[in-house]
Structure 1
Amino acid sequence: MKPLLLSIVSALLLLISPLSHAEQSKDMGSLEVHYSALNATFIPPAVAKAYGIKRSSANALINIAILDKNQSGKPALTAKISGNARNLLGTTKPLEFREVREGNAIYYLAEVRIANEENVTFNIDINAEGNRSGKLTFQQIFYEN
């Protein structure tokens, strides 16, 4: 059941990306980091329940996957991920990422409280296996729905 749910989440992220820039990627040397941030109400109830995600218009979900550019097929990598979310008023909220494994796929999920029309800057430190690391910074405006 969980592989099906993960496929649904991945498809959902791809479908809404033209509307909200849901999935993006960044090259960090030999790493290819895919990331997305979206309002948790976009996650179907069954998927949210399976992964312990709180569906609320005041809750955002951050999803990160790390791939190895040096390997054919770009296998997923394990990593230690930490970071924070900061709004324009300077309020900083820590992000606590949890690892999700589905077959060969590895994802890191974190949730953060948001307000309507809140502009949030995410500062995320990635330390992937093989002593490879990098810093991911991106900004997103969230809208309650």
Structure 2
Amino acid sequence: MMCRLLHFTLLSSLALSLLWATPVMAQQSQRLGPWEVHYNAFNSTLLRPEMAQQYGLERSPTLATVNIAVLAAEKPGKPAQQVEISGIVRNPLSVEQKLEFDEVIEGEAVYYLAQVPFTNLETLRFFITIKQGNQAQELRFSEEFWRN
């Protein structure tokens, strides 16, 4: 487990540090079938302006950015996986919005980015489907957002 975490940290340090304006941001992970899925969602105002521009992301006090990386759980040290990824997000009133992910490849780092609007102090529930070949898994998580 520690080896996988270290690998993910090294693998994604360049990619993720480019996106985050603050040096420390909480990452979460879940084991889903053959994958270890690392994910986070944060207010887009935490993106540095030059990084937002480079990746075609918008910075707004009411726009969240979702970042997902998929690693092979049984093969520590193996690069991130390219997968098909899609999903929806639900607000507290169960209004759904489709997530549109963009794949970013930087060296061995592969990650997926999407953005979604929110209102102040709103908890969003994410339902993300990850597919590769005949394998499919669903990542579910919630995150509370507030205006910065």
Q: Given the superposition, is the C-alpha separation of residues 26 and 14 from structure 1 closer, same or farther in structure 2, using an over 3 Å criterion?
A: farther
How far apart in 2 are the matches of 1:72 and 1:16?
Answer: 23
Say yes or no: does 1:37 pair with 2:41.
Answer: yes
TM-score, L = length of structure 2: 0.85
RMSD, matched Cα: 2.1
Deviation at 1:74, TM superposition (A): 3.2
Q: Secondary structure at the match of 2:17?
A: helix
The gaps in structure 1 that reach 5 residues or longer are 18-22
Deviation at 1:16, TM superposition (A): 2.5
The gaps in structure 2 that reach 5 residues or longer are 1-11
Report % sequence identity: 41
TM-score, L = length of structure 1: 0.86
Matched-pair contact (CA < 8 Å) for 1:97–1:109:
yes
Matched-pair contact (CA < 8 Å) for 2:41–2:65:
yes
Q: Secondary structure at the match of 2:24?
A: helix
Q: Given the superposition, is the C-alpha separation of residues 7 and 81 from structure 1 closer, same or farther in structure 2, using an over 3 Å criterion?
A: closer
Matched-pair contact (CA < 8 Å) for 2:39–2:66:
yes
Q: Secondary structure at the match of 1:16?
A: coil
Q: Secondary structure at the match of 2:15?
A: helix
Q: Given the superposition, is the C-alpha separation of residues 71 and 16 from structure 1 closer, same or farther in structure 2, using an over 3 Å criterion?
A: closer
Q: Aligned to 1:134, which of 125, 133, 137?
A: 137
Matched-pair contact (CA < 8 Å) for 2:19–2:47:
no
Partner AA of 1:125 in structure 2: T
Q: Given the superposition, is the C-alpha separation of residues 10 and 48 from structure 1 closer, same or farther in structure 2, using an over 3 Å criterion?
A: closer
